[in-house]
Structure 1
Amino acid sequence: MRILGVDPGLTRCGLGTIDSYGARQVSLVDVRVARSPAELAPHKRLLMIADELDVVLDQFKPDVVAIERVFAKDNVRSVTGVAQVVGIVMLAAARADLPVELHTPPEVKAAVSGNGRAEKQQVQIMVQRILRLQERPKPADAADALAIAITQAWRGGQQSLIAEPDRTQHGGAGMLPRSTGYDLTPAQKMWAGAERMSRRHGAVAPTETSEQ
């Protein structure tokens, strides 16, 4: 399965594409950051992001698009721009007839590092290790996009263990039935806990995004 992870941002939008060969096997395909200058009108900035996104979708043809879920804390202007980018990503995915999954920042951190409160540097280091890269992906938006894609890859194998087996019909490769006896890793257990917590509180979590 090929997964496009998106770290939405108006100034910098991380786009990370990976291949998943199962619950724990992933490899890097491409990573880049779509940028738009702050001095442009918002609709022109969104067009720049959309154009770069279309290039990635056309070139790498992912099977699913995973996006970081956005939450407002106090910087409403920044969150508004991020939400607009999420909208164009979801629209592009719909036009390509691709499923879309959303993951909260704590879910992503827990899936990749085993700690839902991990610092960005910790996440970057784990992304580097998981994908066996020679150096950390830079800027942070690129590493975040890859972390989101990795979360989606590992989420498929775990969802069957938390009563969502029907997700296979949306391209959830690598899923394992309950009867396999597949053991969750500590990171996956942390991910499950973070997801349950976000659902219990109506998927409300603090914003963890950098300046967008």
Structure 2
Amino acid sequence: MRVMGIDPGTAITGYGIIDVEGNRLAVVAYDCIRTPAGLAMPRRLQLLYQELLAVLDRYRPRHVAVEELFFNKNTRTALAVGQARGVALLAAVNSSLEVAEYTPLEVKQGVTGYGRAAKEQVQYMVRALLALPEIPRPDDVADALAVALCHAHRQGGRGTAFNPREHHHGGRSG
């Protein structure tokens, strides 16, 4: 099963794609999509949509998992993230993919086994579970991989057996 995790944002949207086969994980790709700050919001959202479609077309995941918006004291930031989330969901649905959404608490629980884990713990587990040489940067990319891992863990009862505590990694691929 190929899963794409997305950590949405209008300035930076992180994505991570993993293959899950039984208890084996393999990193396919991870990066971020950046939109120029000087662009008007509609153009930034259009650019994000086009870039996400290109990534979806290139790597052809079967599932897309997107982080849900958490409460943010800055309303302007929350609205911008909400718009980016909408674009990510639209790109996935328009690509005829299954879409799942997870709260930050669910992502932490799925990756570390503890819903209140610190960001550093989540990043450490992403690096360890995927046998990466270092924690992916920026944080949005590590967060996107965590969302993909959370989905893989959640799918455990539906055809895969991934468990962060019983993990074996595969090699890097395409």
What TM-score do you get using the length of structure 1 for normalisation? 0.73
Partner SS for 1:137: coil
| Structure 1: unaligned runs, 5 residues or longer | 161-171, 177-183, 188-212
Q: How far did residue 186 of structure 1 move?
A: 7.0
Q: CA deviation at 1:51?
A: 1.7
Q: CA deviation at 1:73?
A: 3.3
Q: Aligned runs of 1:20-99 on 2, under 5 Å? A: 20-22=20-22, 24-99=23-98
Deviation at 1:71, TM superposition (A): 2.8
The structure with the greater share of residues assigned to strand is 2
Deviations 1:100-155 (A, max 9, x none): 10000011111111221122111111100000111111110000000000000110
Q: Is the 8 A contact 2:123 2:142 kept in 1?
A: yes
Shift of 1:36: 1.0
1:19 aligns with 2:19: yes
> Counterparts of 1:111-150 in structure 2 under 5 Å?
111-150=110-149
Q: Is the 8 A contact 2:112 2:164 kept in 1?
A: no
Tell me what 1:6 maps to: 6
Whole-angstrom CA distance in 2 between matches of 1:15 and 1:128: 15
The structure with the largest alpha-carbon Rg is: 1
2:14 & 2:121 partners in 1: Cα distance?
Answer: 18
Name structure 2 gaps, 5 residues minimum. 167-174
Task: Sort the Cα spacing of 1:148 and 1:84 in 2 relative to 1 into closer, same or farther, 3 A.
Answer: same
- How far apart, CA to CA, are the structure 1 residues paired with 2:128 and 2:4? 19
**CA pair 58-115 structure 1, distance change in 2 beyond 3 A:** same
Residue type of the partner of 2:63? V
Query: How much identity, in percent, do the aligned residues show?
Result: 42
Relative contact order, higher structure (CA 8 A, sep 6+): 2
SS of residue in 2 equivalent to 1:38: coil
Native 8 Å contact 1:13 1:141 kept in 2: yes
Tell me by how many angstroms 1:59 deviates. Answer: 0.4
In the TM superposition, residue 25 of structure 1 has moved relative to its aligned partner by: 2.2
The alignment's TM-score, normalised by the length of structure 2, stands at 0.89
Instruction: Report the CA distance between 1:72 and its aligned residue.
Output: 2.9
AA aligned opposite 1:31: Y
**Structure 1, residues 158-202: CA drift from partner, whole Å, max 9, x if none?**
xx4xxxxxxxxxxx53169xxxxxxx7779xxxxxxxxxxxxxxx
Give me the whole-angstrom Cα distance separating, in 2, the residues matched to 1:65 and 1:173.
16
> Do the aligned partners of 2:111 and 2:122 also contact (CA within 8 Å) in 1?
yes
**Aligned residues of 1:26 and 1:153 also touching (Cα < 8 A):** no
Aligned residue-pair number = 166
Distance 2:124 2:165 in 1: 17
- Equivalents in 2 of 1:47, 1:67: separation in Å? 18
